Amino acid sequence: MIPFNKPYLTGKETQYIEDAVKSGKISGNGMFTQKCQQFFEQKYGFKKCLLTTSCTDALEMCAILADIQPDDEVIVPSYTFVSSALAFVRQGAKIVFADSYENNPNIDADKIEALITPKTKAIVVVHYAGMACDMEKIMALAAKYNLLVIEDAAQAIESYYQSPLTPPKGEKNFSPSGRSGGALGGIGHLAAFSFHETKNIISGEGGMLAINDDRFIHRAEIIWEKGTNRAEFFRGEVNKYGWVDTGSSFLPSEIIAAFLWAQIEHLDDIQNKRKQTWNTYYEGLKPLADQGFFRLPEIPDYATNNAHMFYLVCNSLEDRTKLIEHLKQKEINAVFHYLSLHSSEFYKNRHDGRILKNCDKFADCLVRLPMFYELSLNDAKYIINSIKEFYQ
């Protein structure tokens, strides 16, 4: 069976884990944590990075930093993983779900303004498959209505937004980081990344909070350290530390960070291989897509492709079900993805009743093909030929 995903090990993970153990500090915020955080800050221009135990934890930190209160409204795409909404539900927020584009699973930026009310506090954007949302429009809306933008960049490492506009001389860029484009996760006020084993670079479980607005940097570190100013103490900035705010144990152990550092060192190699596989899929399946059997991913002109995922959008739920079963018989594990959150068992009775047809279309028709570093080109071609066999 060709699996949907297989975690890739660079060969240095156990060595660095051993180094972390021998250092005598494995509880977190040690040498490897700081190396990882500095890498992301320097490479992508994020103002401050804090590793977390998961992307969910990073989103929960975003919700606390945004000061989400009961009855605040947060706009969230419906076609996403539960964590994108759950982090704000835990703070008591009302979730206002937004639809996707017709040809793209990302949040439809043209439909957001109609959802904004005096109670709206934040807009959550999810860069599905690592492809950018229309951040120019979304950040303009946020500025107009004084809202925060939180990027769920779980799938978006090493992916970029390319702004089609250059701000006139003397005018501010639309991003709090001072840029009109750049790495995803560096455009909104706050962002969350995932290093789950299904992502491009991994640590088993793990995540990261990226902070691009100076207002949140100091408090984020306190929330990260269980509501204490412990990090300041260890830097010698205060002579004692104590409980000064809310928070939780969001930081991961050094063992997680050591594993991640081994992955970071091979980021370019990992990305090159994934892009090769992605392009093989696209070129091999385009003739069938041109015949109308399914749709391929569409990359907006403002987005880059980090090859996180390769998916097809079938013409119907029945078609997708039969395709997945056919591939299973060919020893290929292809899978569908999210169910729309607005129709979930947990939230459907709290949804306002709007029909989000595009989200539902992707929930019924999108299928993901195997994508991982060690997938050979021969395996990719076998998958392509198996799909051709099904349709022809």
Whether residue 150 is found in the same domain as residue 280? no
Residue ending a domain, among 264, 282, 311, is 264
**Domain limits for position 122:** 13-264
Residue ending a domain, among 243, 264, 285, is 264
Whether residue 256 is found in the same domain as residue 280? no
DSSP letter string, 302-341: TB-------EEEESSHHHHHHHHHHHHHTTB--B--PPPG
Under-70 pLDDT residues of the chain = 163-180, 239-240
Backbone φ and ψ for 152, nearest 5 degrees, come out as -85, 95
The span from the CA of 16 to the CA of 260, in Å, is 9
pLDDT score for 191: 98
The span from the CA of 77 to the CA of 151, in Å, is 11
Place of tokens 């915020």: 29
Whether residue 232 is found in the same domain as residue 340? no
Whether residue 251 is found in the same domain as residue 274? no
CA distances from 292 to 131, 266, 280, 314 (A): 23, 38, 19, 9
pLDDT score for 232: 75
Whether residue 117 is found in the same domain as residue 226? yes
- For residue 73, the SS3 value is strand
Contact predicate 131/305, CB 8 Å: yes
Check which CATH number belongs to the domain holding 211 and give it.
3.40.640.10
Amino acid in the structure at residue 174: F
Whether residue 207 is found in the same domain as residue 297? no
Whether residue 75 is found in the same domain as residue 195? yes
Check which CATH number belongs to the domain holding 311 and give it.
3.90.1150.10
Decide if 7 is inside a domain: no
List, for residues 313-343, the tens digit of each pLDDT value: 999 999 999 999 999 999 999 999 999 999 9
Q: How many domains does the chain have?
A: 2
Residue ending a domain, among 264, 290, 315, is 264
Backbone φ and ψ for 110, nearest 5 degrees, come out as -75, -10
pLDDT score for 179: 54
Whether residue 379 is found in the same domain as residue 232? no
Amino acid in the structure at residue 47: K
Whether residue 87 is found in the same domain as residue 196? yes
Whether residue 42 is found in the same domain as residue 163? yes
The span from the CA of 309 to the CA of 324, in Å, is 16
List, for residues 215-246, the tens digit of each pLDDT value: 999 999 999 999 998 777 777 777 668 899 99
